[in-house]
Structure 1
């Protein structure tokens, strides 16, 4: 009978052991990273500037699982429009630190506020958020609307909570949810990446880079912390503030998105009737890199309309 208990104990311990043996994000891992690093109140943040020094600032905030390299194609287009583009890695992703604990609105606003202060960014900011980054962009813009010239949301999260399936259960469950994420999430993510491996991308090798995130210690726990935190936030008051403060908002959606349903566009329009909703036919959740030209065209038109 003792062997049964040992087997059960081994199964329980296995994902925890795997996580403990993953590579740490440290100075050695960052040796050949592009961009620069800032030591902020919660840890080290990786960031990168692109474009003319005197151009208007475009701040780009990535999503739940794909770090700032997701902006490769979009950044090139924004630079051609004359923007000075700031991209950065959220904590738990890319080359940034992996602090433990809650990853809610206060957590992400602290990181962003620290970074903008460190980089002496003041106002007249075009904020662009993708997926969960759309939720972060929205709460940032609502918290300081006087600093925002326009808000652009790409397949944004925040219009509905994750309730279904294993991920939904893990998001609602603290300890067991962490174990489930460590055990099953890498397989689920890789399955999704495999389904996208042949789609066009403006970011070379993005599929392999997304997969490689799973090799770093703290990545999966950070995803879980964000599911329980930022992605469980109610953003209706934030979007109502944006309307009341007359912040121009553009939201771009993928018609074939199976992560953020297109019905979210209707919800957003109900919260803020002034939002400009645009839908890209044939695009899924990866529209930022799979339909970059279409996204940039919508951004360019919107920028001139809201100038």
Structure 2
């Protein structure tokens, strides 16, 4: 009996692992490239950067599923001009942060944020800003820490439903086989999406090349799938109702042409949180914090709750 079919089958099964081995490890060499600093937290090293003055109201920015903390660089300059001291950081498996194994749940993200804030001595009066999946992470964290917030700002937030293609939904919902499918198909799909973004304006220099670099780092693809399964299947309804009841000021900013978080989510959010203030940016898609930075900054400036005397 020929062993060829078995060998071919084993090679096919091993393809995702072989691809992963060819990607750059998240070791000392990668960390030496990083701007900012690292926090040694229970879930691994977290990369973070402070921008702006040493004193002033603190704005903490939580990025989304696939684009690390550099997504904030353009908007951060606007926030600094408003007087904010801005903290940006990389979620696990993105940017320069470690990529621990395990399901990436809201609890895991909350533990990371708690640990980083504790290390940096940030206790309260926080303006928390979340983009896409980061909007969901921020809302869930805020609902459990209402006493620490000045305000919550959400940019194209998840938690009210997102649009996924059929293959991604299938891979998300089926363990093992879904892992193989996602690891084999996602890099190509991401590369095509990035080519389509090359013509878009951006306040973050080289953002498409930065995103391509993510695909070459170990743990990134696995982390994206883990977040799809552990966080993005959930709803932020309970969190939004709690925020409304607690009187936390919430501003939500949406892209009118967003293909990922549809504008219908705006109506859903208003049902859960009657006090939310909402702004729609015309012509913006899902990348509105870096493609329509001026409009986002203007909306924040118009609704910003300034520190008291």
Shorter-normalised TM range: over 0.9
Q: Give the drift of 1:10.
A: 2.2
Cα separation, 2, equivalents of 1:119 and 1:164: 39
Match of 1:139 in 2: 140
Q: How does 1:229-240 map to 2 (within 5 A)?
A: 229-240=230-241
TM-score normalised to structure 1 length:
0.97
Q: Extract structure 1 runs of 4+ deviating beyond 2 A.
A: 1-12, 161-164, 304-307
Q: Give the drift of 1:22.
A: 1.2
Q: Give the drift of 1:305.
A: 8.2
Give the gaps of 5 or more residues in structure 1. Answer: none
Contact 1:128 1:137 (C-alpha < 8 Å) held by counterparts: yes
Match of 1:74 in 2: 75
Match of 1:227 in 2: 228
Q: How does 1:156-195 map to 2 (within 5 A)?
A: 156-160=157-161, 164-195=165-196
C-alpha distance after superposition, 1:185-216 (max 9, x if no partner)? 01111111111111110001000101110000
Cα separation, 2, equivalents of 1:56 and 1:95: 26
Comparing 12-21 with 148-157, which one deviates more in the overlay?
12-21
Q: Are 1:9 and 2:10 matched, yes or no?
A: yes
TM-score normalised to structure 2 length:
0.96
Cα separation, 2, equivalents of 1:306 and 1:4: 68
| Aligned partner of residue 73 in structure 1, secondary structure | helix
Q: Are 1:87 and 2:88 matched, yes or no?
A: yes
Cα separation, 1, equivalents of 2:189 and 2:237: 30
Contact 1:138 1:238 (C-alpha < 8 Å) held by counterparts: yes
Match of 1:214 in 2: 215
Cα separation, 1, equivalents of 2:67 and 2:212: 9
Cα separation, 2, equivalents of 1:205 and 1:161: 26
Cα separation, 1, equivalents of 2:33 and 2:176: 35
Give the gaps of 5 or more residues in structure 2. Answer: none
Aligned length: 307
Indicate the RMSD between aligned Cα atoms, in angstroms: 1.5
